[in-house]
Structure 1
Amino acid sequence: MITLSKNFYPVLIILLFLTGVKNPGHCQPADMKKVAAEMEDLLLKNMMPVWYPRVIDKEYGGYLSNFNYKWEMTGSQNKMIVTQSRHVWACSEMKAFTGDPVYLDYARHGFLFLRDHMWDKQYGGFFNLVSREGTPLKEADPKQFAKNAYGNAYAIYGLAAYYRESRDPGVLELAKEAFAWLEKGSHDPVYGGYFQFLNQDGTPIREGGPGGTPPKDQNSSIHILEALTELYHVWPDDLVRKRLDEMLHLIRDVIVNDKGSLQLYLNADLTPVSYQDSSKKVHLKHYALDHMSFGHDVETAYLLMEASEALNSVADSKTLEIGKKMVDNSMNYGWDNSNAGVYDVGYFYKNEKSVTIIRDTKNWWAQSETLNTLLIMSELYPDDPLNYRKRFFDQWKFIKDYLIDWQHGDWYSGSTDKEPRAKEGTKANIWKGNYHTTRALINCITRIREMGKK
């Protein structure tokens, strides 16, 4: 979790006294305690009971994938490395947060499935998708089983967290193997970064993925950064540190553009895939490759600060500057001034003064990441004109009003102010788990408690 220097607080108190500001963001300490209590209730009484042990697949191992809005099993229950690894991570974090050993049992259950079924024993690396029973499944390429850097990064992320809690040397060894596998095939020694799409044997697909998808992207990059941060905490290896530093600088200084938003896709040489010089009509046909994803931007601001802290003990000034720029861009152009929340997709068209919102829906994961980052920013910049603290409170109210299913449990996939039908949408699938929401709530609860001690 991002922490502030102990020397910061006395200076802050003096500044607030001199300026006459007693409660930045117009809140009382009691308000924060109330929010923390509400968050803990949501996490422990609404969310965790519907996830665990319901998703534990006692028959075949790993975690079940698909449930409808009433938490009834649906579909084939194919298992993706991303979701399986996120469960391992979330259960490990819940063990750390609550001290309850049952979560360590749940995490081990997932680890065994990753080790015994999702790891390719012939070529190394984790398969992207397997059946419920653990048989690898082919996807876009019928000739081989798909692998990618994104999924393997999440495996490292989950394994590192589980090792932190279990201290099982076999867990760390598998994490090390996965890191070495990415280093050998996915890492680009020429231009830096990692190729996202990989053959089964681990060699990179340098021209890109299915449907003309470019070979490098922000999403895999930020989660490789996240995984390396988690791994470095438990295994402070020199090469891990080097790659973590490389990814921090690559994302912060190259992938984040001058507007303070992530460039979604890049060519192998890290030149951006951009439609800035195209007409609106042409761009809208290809907007999936080039747009502002406000949720990713606020999440990345947090991940960059977390990585910098792992490398330097405290986040460095350049990273804080860029992180703030990313959050401010999202608040200025992607924030819903009526109900709160950040929109899903926007774009800054050439020669236009403001962002055009292309999709005004508000998915669940982006809102939880926004909650987490706003609290961090409110502590770092209590007097900022954007008033991060007030936005944090507004965001929390918005989540309670439009994203939480108080009847059946957990979060809707999208906010009901924009997508009323989300109330009857799936609660779990291979792309919807509980990692974003669990992390945001644990981080916020922990931060508020630490704030109360100072």
Structure 2
Amino acid sequence: MKKLIILICCLSVLIACKSEKSGKDNGEELQNHPDQALITEFETAANKDLLQRWYPLVIDKEDGGYYSEVTHDFKLGEKHDKMVVTQARHIWTNAKAAERNPKDSSYLANAEHGFEFFRDVLWDKENGGFHNLVNKKGEPIIKEGESKTAYGNSFAIYGLAAYYDASGNEEALDLAKETFNWLEKHSHDKKYKGYFQHMEMDGTPIERAAKMASTSDIGHKDQNSSIHLLEAFTELYRVWPNDLLEERLEELLVIIRETIVNEDNYMNLFFERDWTPVTFKDKSKEEIETHYYLDHVSAGHDVETAFLMLDASAALGLKNDSLTLQIAKRMVDHSLKTGWDADVGGFYDGGYYFEGEDGITTVNDKKNWWAQAEGLNTLLIMTEKFPEDEMNYRKYFDELWSYTKTYMMDEENGGWYEWGLDKSPDAKTALKGHIWKATYHNYRALTHVADRLKEMN
């Protein structure tokens, strides 16, 4: 049965790769497409307004890897500490861009440039695993609780697997495998399953201690590292259908779907080791506000995770996985009902269900770039899966694209603001790039939407 699933998986990947690697830019096939103009908008937004603004600008030819800070008008900033997460996302984006633009060799070269920095600088040759943060020259920056993270290493796997897929570089695949095995040895929880997020330099998990501040996430398990491990293992499994990797991918899918997602159809954010949610719902509003980072409803993460679960299920070859599809749908529906701005569109940053109050309260009405990007991708998936549903996902998708073009995309300078201008007008002159913001969320969304629209009629 396992061999059959792997065969199905491999066939589906070959079909997908053939479609994606062609670039899907054949104008003739779009001439009679009902969404021809819209597809062109997304392709332009992905290439001219995003990729061509960022690359080769952020290629650090002096010290390797990619520059971190980019100003609002696309000039290099001043601070260039390099975090494994964002460095990996640049590798992933360029690897995918290389597949979509086979006639342009620069994207594969950009990805190779990032891979060399990973191999030669970010990988800890003494202890294994990837350093979380280094300075511009590649010297490790060690902060309390941030020596190594499962989150950072997950993105390393994600970028390396994509680069291998685009280049065939076996050294990159070997490093991705080594990272997976390092996480298996140090981060995987054999008793309660899932992964420890924070680790010492040698990979020893950092346990929660009484002396730690109540606002600290150190020692907790969390949804964010879990969903991105799921994402990374999905990418790796498509190029390396290993039995243990399959087991861990399925394990994460079940944990996220049936434990992290709660009975109210949104995700709790942080957990004790045994997956007991960290919550402050019985505390005062002041204390809840103090602990906002640890405990709130994040519509952006929920719509993103709906996609990541469906993608993992597809990679595993689970053909009739109605459970994952229905839970993904419920998460999207909840996000639209509780985290959507009915006036101008867009997903709010976060809300909270205060005890004794009816419904949810929007705690932070700002709108970040990544949630809107992930929303576009997932809403179109829901449109395709449930075309006649009363939620009318296509209406929300169209409204979100209109919102994104109006408030999130910089028509003059290119790229995306970090926050929607309707709620955060100062974002217009704020940084376009830093160690937490690059091109992966929006490039993935724009290209996935363009490709999905081409397949829909």
State TM-score, norm by structure 2.
0.90
Specify every segment of 5 or more residues in structure 1 that has no aligned partner in the other structure, as ranges: 6-28
Within a 5 Å distance, the mapping from 1:128-277 to structure 2 comes to: 128-140=132-144, 146-207=147-208, 212-213=216-217, 214-277=219-282
- Counterparts in 2 of 1:119-130, with a 5 A limit? 119-130=123-134
The share of aligned pairs that are identical, in percent, is 48
Change in 2 beyond 3 A, CA 1:315/1:265: farther
- The reply on whether 1:351 has 2:356 as its aligned counterpart is yes
Q: Deviations over 1:139-163 (max 9, x none)?
A: 236xxx7110000000000000000
For residue 351 of structure 2, give the secondary structure of its aligned residue in structure 1: strand
The question of whether the paired residues in 2 share the 8 Å contact of 1:85 and 1:154 is answered with yes
Corresponding residue for residue 63 of structure 1: 66
Task: Give the conservation status (yes or no) of the 8 Å contact 1:296–1:366.
Answer: yes
What's the counterpart of residue 79 of structure 1?
82
Q: Using the alignment, how far apart are the partners of 1:450 and 1:383 within structure 2?
A: 18
Shift of 1:175: 0.3
Partner of 1:423: 428
Q: For residue 119 of structure 2, what is the aligned residue in structure 1?
A: 115
Whole-angstrom distance in 2 between the partners of 1:353 and 1:33: 44
Distance of 1:138 and 1:315 partners within structure 2: 46
Q: Is the 8 A contact 1:125 1:147 kept in 2?
A: yes
Q: After alignment, is 359-368 or 271-280 more displaced?
A: 271-280
- For residue 287 of structure 2, what is the aligned residue in structure 1? 282
1:306 aligns with 2:311: yes
Q: Deviations over 1:186-217 (max 9, x none)?
A: 00000010000001001111227886314200
Q: Distance in 1 between matches of 2:205 and 2:410?
A: 42
**Preserved CA contact (<8 Å) 1:61 1:110:** yes
Distance 1:282 1:307 in 2: 37
Measure how far apart 1:387 and its partner are.
0.7
**Conserved in 2, the CA contact under 8 Å of 1:149 and 1:186?**
yes
**What corresponds to 2:380 in structure 1?**
375
Letter aligned with residue 357 of structure 2 = E
Deviation at 1:75, TM superposition (A): 2.1
Aligned counterparts of 2:383 and 2:79: Cα–Cα separation in 1 = 44
User: 1:51 — aligned with what?
Assistant: 54
Whole-angstrom distance in 1 between the partners of 2:249 and 2:356: 37
Which amino acid in 2 is paired with 1:367?
A: Q
Q: How many angstroms does 1:68 deviate by?
A: 1.1
1:131 CA drift (Å): 1.1
Aligned-pair RMSD on alpha carbons? 1.6
Matching residue within 374, 384, 391 for 2:389: 384
Shift of 1:353: 2.5
Identify the residue that residue 399 of structure 2 maps to in structure 1: 394
Given that 1:206 and 1:268 are in contact with CA atoms closer than 8 Å, whether structure 2 keeps it comes out as no
Is 151-160 or 384-393 further displaced after alignment?
A: 384-393
Contiguous gaps of at least 5 residues in structure 2: 1-8, 13-31
AA paired with 1:311? L
**How far is 1:112 from its partner?**
0.2
Deviation at 1:35, TM superposition (A): 1.3
Output the amino acid matched with 1:124.
Answer: G
Give, in whole Å, the separation in 2 of the partners of 1:51 and 1:310: 30
Report the equivalent of 1:22: none
Query: Pick from 98, 101, 107: which aligns with 2:105?
Result: 101
Q: 1:315 to 1:292 in 2, by over 3 A?
A: farther
Maintained 8 Å contact 2:58/2:76: no
1:312 match: secondary structure: coil
Match of 1:323 among 324, 328, 346: 328
Measure the CA separation in 2 of the matches of 1:49 and 1:228: 29
1:40 aligns to what? 43
Q: How many residue pairs align between the two structures?
A: 423
Shift of residue 315 of structure 1? 6.0
The residue type paired with residue 155 of structure 1 is A
Q: Aligned equivalents of 1:281 and 1:428: distance in 2?
A: 32
Matched, 1:89 2:92: yes
Give, in whole Å, the separation in 2 of the partners of 1:206 and 1:256.
24
Q: What is the CA–CA distance in structure 2 between the aligned matches of 1:123 and 1:54, rounded to whole Å?
A: 33
Tell me how far apart the structure 2 counterparts of residues 30 and 426 of structure 1 sit (CA, whole Å): 37
Q: TM-score scaled by structure 1? A: 0.91
AA of the residue aligned to 2:281: Q
CA contact 1:216–1:267 (8 Å) conserved in 2: yes
What secondary structure does 2:280 align onto?
coil
Range 87-96 or range 310-319, more displaced: 310-319
SS at the partner of 1:289? Answer: coil
Give, in whole Å, the separation in 2 of the partners of 1:355 and 1:30: 41
How far, CA to CA, are the matches of 2:54 and 2:431 in structure 1?
13
Q: Distance in 2 between matches of 1:86 and 1:314?
A: 29
CA positional deviation for 1:349: 1.7
The 1-side partners of 2:358 and 2:122 are apart by: 48
Whole-Å separation in 2 of the counterparts to 1:31 and 1:59: 47
> In 1, Cα distance between the equivalents of 2:265 and 2:35?
29
Q: 2:323 and 2:356 mapped to 1: Cα distance?
A: 29
1:313-332, Cα deviation, whole Å (9 max, x unpaired): 53610000110010000000
Aligned 8 A contact 1:123 1:202 in 2: yes
Any conservation in 1 of the 2:33–2:454 contact (CA below 8 Å)? no
State the shift of 1:379 in Å. Answer: 0.7
Q: Identify the range of structure 1 (95-104 vs 165-174) with the bigger mean alpha-carbon deviation.
A: 95-104
2:309 and 2:324 in contact (8 A); partners too: yes
* Structure 1 position 276, deviation (Å): 2.0
Cα separation, 2, equivalents of 1:383 and 1:337? 21
SS in 2 for 1:358: strand
The AA in structure 2 aligned to 1:183 is E
How far residue 73 of structure 1 moved from its aligned partner, in angstroms, is 1.7
Alpha-carbon contact 1:293-1:346 (below 8 Å) kept? yes
